[in-house]
Chains A and B, each alone.
Chain A
Amino acid sequence: MKGQRMIRMVKRDAISSKKQWMIRGIALVGALLAGAFLILSLGHNPLAVYKDMLAGALGTPTVRRETVKLAIPLLITAIGISFAFQMRFWNIGAEGQILMGAVCAGYFAFFQYDNLPRPLLILVMMLAGMIGGGIYGMIPALFKAKWGTNETLFTLMLNYIALAFIKYLKNGPWKAPHSQFPKMAMLDDRARLGKILGIHWGWILALVLVVLAYFYFTKTKQGYEISVVGESTDTARYAGIPVSFVLIRTMILSGALAGLAGMLQLAGSDYTITESTAGGVGFTVITVAWMAKMNSFGMLAVAVFIAVLERGSNKIQTTFKIPASAAEVLTGMILFFMLGCEFFINYKLVVSKREEAGA
């Protein structure tokens, strides 16, 4: 064997937060560069495309409002799943929880709107949405608590069931009267949310939730319990924490927030329910929560960023005929880079030259 260079990985003891953010920044730039190559390979100028994306998402007050509107469900649902993720409960069923929230709220919005005074109607819709999402989130938690049933796939399957349920509703019992197509009616004005600064007031609710979630995790006993359960169920048991109960309670909360997002989507944005009411939000928020490291303020930033990306992708579809699925591709790439860069935060590479005697 001859003398050769070896690259070894060494665990870092501690790293300044400035350096951490620098590494993340480099990763983001790397992801955007990778995206640029993709755009370039399609024969477009990446700079022009990125610029158009920004303009499409933030250029005018109107598009800015649209972007914020996109960010609302992302943020609220991300906070919701972060509850589960903190507990290492892989809730990837937010999509279904959003839909179930929308359906439960929809029952009152579609069929009870003239029986209730407006503020009460909206309140009931919110509660119904949260209960719907909460129950839908609770089901897999019950089985996880009792038998340790794999929650990743369980929550995921519930997404498809919720989707089929919506299809059933719009084809049958909830089909809009006098409609030729299988679709639900549009909401009556009374069941629609009011606007503040041109956007439905869900955005204020989202901001309040950011602060509440932060305090929940850092200051309350329940938040502390979640952290302990997430670290080790053995430790939790040892500490006298009722693990099953915490699991179920937290998943109800997690699902309820997703359900709330579904209600806001119905009453503030779409004014009806379709298969795309959730529109992949349930998956995208996994990215949001993870990139923000479960910090709710971080999620605020990431949610807005993702919303910009999605709005921007719609814009470039019209300008450059680049399919809007580019948003998913870019989101995926950014998260790949973010996941990868954590390694360089935790480890450093050391190049050591070895010289062997006699070589």
Chain B
Amino acid sequence: MNTLLNLAVAAVLAGTPLLLGTLGEILTEKSGNINLGVEGMMFMGAIAGLAAPYLYEQQVLLVGSTPSKLAGAFLALAASFLAGALGALIYGFLTITLRANQNVTGLTLTIFGTGIGNFFGEYLGSQAGGYVALGDELKAAFANLSIPGLSQIPVIGKLFFQYNWVVYFAIVLALCMNHFFQRTRVGLNLRAVGEDPATADAAGINVTRYKYAATVIGGGICGIGGMYMSMVTTSGVWVYNCVSGYGWLAVALVIFATWNPARALLAALIFGGLTVLRLYLRIPGMPMQIYEMFPYIATILVLIVTSIRQSRENVQPKSCGKNYFREER
């Protein structure tokens, strides 16, 4: 029982960056852009989300006062969003304005973003004389919360009320996004853009603006997911290649979640669980490294099952992968 509870809690913690990456990519794909650069954007968000509070801390320590937790958290959030959004903006400019191939541009963004993350991670590390690590004060900004009254409830408190704030942020974001697609006018328009940009265009929707907005905001959300990796998963220390495949898992989870942000919650939880399973559920005789394969094997199974079970609804927006150009002739 206790193991199961611990596994559930660990799954939530491990699933959160996946959830953020998935949400960002869902938003992007809803506009008809398939951005395979999630991994890259997460790397960019990871380094920016670490560097901003780190540099802020250095400045504050220089003048001899203590850094503020709130400011640190905000800086991490804002910087990672902007970094992810910047990556997505490059992607958007190339695919939306310059009509480059979406697959290759996304892959390039992954190469570029991975490079940027590791480059600045190492660079900051070498400047700091070894490695980048955040002080305890700011690390605490990403520690588990303790909500008086709620966190202390047995089981329930641990299961629901003691995560760091990014977890709640991600869950609320997923619910909001679901509401946005289902109910709002802008959400409806965005779905139309992703399904059939020519039609949306003829209906008076500014396709380019929608595509840019969805792609850039989506990239920003992916960036926040990256920040989670560097601030929570590795607790404020830059670890080389820290995102290591989470971005790609997120791309696959979009399929598992059938482009539905609410379902992404469940998908992320399951995959979060799979990534940490080895720590909680030992099968005798099974080598550790085989556990590492689980999330990837599960992803493949999901891909296969969804491809066999084809349906008319809950599928990828139809224009995904194709660039739209009005005066094509």
Task: Give A contacts to B, CB under 8 Å.
Answer: 8-9, 11, 42, 90, 92, 143, 147-150, 152-154, 156-158, 160-161, 164-165, 167-168, 171-172, 283-284, 286-287, 290, 321-323, 325-333, 335-336, 339-340, 342-343, 346
B299 within 8 A of A: yes
25 contacts between A and B (CB under 8 A): A92-B107, A143-B304, A143-B307, A147-B307, A150-B303, A153-B255, A154-B300, A157-B296, A157-B299, A157-B300, A157-B303, A164-B289, A164-B290, A172-B289, A286-B108, A323-B122, A323-B123, A325-B118, A325-B119, A326-B119, A333-B112, A339-B104, A340-B93, A340-B94, A343-B99
Q: A147-B308, A168-B287 are in contact. Are A331 and B248 (CB under 8 A)?
A: no
A1–B139 alpha-carbon span in the complex (Å): 55
Q: Which of A286, A323, A327 neighbours the largest number of chain B CB atoms within 10 Å of its CB?
A: A323
B residues 291-329 in Cβ contact with A at 8 Å? 292-293, 296-297, 299-300, 303-304, 307-308, 327, 329
| A residues in contact with B109, CB < 8 Å | 332
Asked if B173 is at the interface (CB within 8 A of a chain A CB), the reply is no
At the interface, yes or no: B36 with Cβ under 8 Å from chain A? yes
Q: Which residues of chain B have C-beta atoms less than 8 A from A333's C-beta?
A: 112
- Cβ of B150 under 8 Å from chain A: no
Per DSSP, chain B at the interface is helix
Residues of B within 8 A of A164 (CB): 289-290, 292-293, 296
Indicate if B176 sits at the interface (CB-CB under 8 A): no
The residues of B that contact A161 with a CB separation of less than 8 Å are 293, 296-297
CA separation between A161 and B301, bound complex, in Å? 13
A164, B244: Cα distance in complex, Å: 12
Size bracket, chain B contacts: 35 or more
* Residue B162 lies at the interface, judged by CB distance under 8 Å to chain A: no
Complex-state Cα separation, A46 to B39, whole angstroms: 29
Q: How far is the CA of A283 from the CA of B296 in the complex (A)?
A: 18
B299: chain A residues within 8 A (beta carbon): 153, 157
Q: Say whether, besides A149-B303, A168-B290, A286 and B104 are in contact (CB < 8 Å).
A: yes
A245, B288: Cα distance in complex, Å = 37
A149 engages B304 (CB within 8 Å): yes
Q: Write out the residue numbers on chain B whose beta carbons fall within 8 Å of the beta carbon of A156.
A: 248
Does the CB pair A336–B287 fall under 8 Å?
no
Residues of B within 8 A of A160 (CB): 245, 248, 292-293, 296
Instruction: Find out whether the CB atom of A331 lies under 8 angstroms from the CB atom of B123.
Output: no
Question: Which 5 residue pairs across A and B have the least CB separation, nearest first?
Answer: A332-B112, A328-B115, A168-B289, A323-B122, A329-B115
On chain B, the residues within 8 Å of A171 by CB distance are 287-289
